[in-house]
Structure 1
């Protein structure tokens, strides 16, 4: 059985969707990042980058959410594009676009807007602009195709769904009006029974919600180094 290191952040949630869509049995190991559990020796042995999610599948250990999606798709032979280098190249391009663009810029936009010390107008403007630019590219793509890889529902859509649920938090409440195709895509996937089950996982575990000093230092350890 797959051991799945989980919390309710976007990246673990998209892996939960993937596992549920594929019908793979898994055991959840909750990792509360606001308590600093990602820095424990036990978790660092699984993911030396101290980030959630990660999976252990027999002898295979995989970290980085997008690597996990690709690993599981290749393991099961499901939720991949049609055969051929053209389709595979398209899938890899969009998967890496989510990995290197959508996720990091959305996450940093939220970080600088919500958590970083002020004043930081330049950083807020920089990441808000880039996050919106990346989402506009996705919206244009979904304006031409049902899914990110054409008519085929793939792991790219799962990777995107993990973040598209949070676009109002990233871009503001006007995001829905600005990104109608992303909203259509989000609504379709969220209606899947697998997505309902993935989102329900949050009700089975209790994670710390307070952003106190302990949580800030656990999630942003550079602050501790700066103080030292």
Structure 2
């Protein structure tokens, strides 16, 4: 089915329907896919989907992303020439890794290791850091009971410790640069935005701090971190 036949195209119209369509917002989960697309260099068209219910709960967006979360893609150049529509940032990274051969070994123990750390980010680091942000910076910061805040501070410290240990003697989490790094590092950058680095003792996690700096220096991060561009 061509991109133009998808319901989402009625709201976010593809100007170049023969290239991959990205529906996203530059949060850490959205950045994963835009950074990956910049790394692999395949043509794509980015559409800004705000986090407002009017966008993410619209019938058009739900037709591709039924969990009403960014990012999502529609790729007219899928396997066997079929169009592929996907939601969930981790699933999209695996799809793009398999499609391009970048950042994801085709088979064997190294592939399993990359997927292991990708799942660790999806199930642990991302959700826990998101809760940390809620209780430190957003509405949860007004809750008087200190226990929720302390829980996520302590869990974030534990997660940083896991990552710091795993990075000992390595530049990248699975040895070679991979989709796991693309998943993990945008979430590390949220700690600055949350104002949480000092309370977590971030600089004491030397391997993590150096890892984050290496990732942020990559040209694909510098470009992809604000695609589609955040509204002024």
TM-score by length of 1: 0.82
Q: Which has the higher helix share?
A: 1
- Does the CA contact (< 8 Å) of 1:112 and 1:120 recur in 2? no
4+ runs of 1 displaced by more than 4 Å?
none
Q: Distance in 1 between matches of 2:183 and 2:133?
A: 18
Write the mapping of 1:142-153 to structure 2, written as runs, cut at 5 A.
142-150=167-175, 152-153=176-177
Report the CA distance shift for 1:14/1:42 in structure 2 as closer, same or farther (over 3 A): same
Is this contact kept in 1: 2:26–2:226, CA < 8 A?
no
- Secondary structure of residue in 1 paired with 2:68: coil
The alignment's TM-score, normalised by the length of structure 2, stands at 0.81
Matched, 1:132 2:143: no
Q: How many angstroms does 1:80 deviate by?
A: 1.6
- Structure 1 position 170, deviation (Å): 4.9
Give the alignment of 1:1-228 within 5 angstroms. Answer: 1-34=19-52, 36-58=54-76, 59-81=83-105, 84-113=107-136, 114-116=138-140, 118-150=143-175, 152-170=176-194, 172-174=196-198, 175-201=201-227, 204-206=229-231
Which is worse superposed, 30-39 or 188-197?
30-39
Contiguous gaps of at least 5 residues in structure 2: 1-18, 77-82
Distance 1:115 1:74, change over 3 A: same
Query: Could you tell me how far apart the structure 1 residues matched to 2:164 and 2:134 are?
Result: 23
Contact 1:132 1:171 in 2 (8 A): no
Offset of residue 44 of structure 1? 0.7
Shift of 1:120: 4.0
Q: Is the 8 A contact 2:31 2:226 kept in 1?
A: no
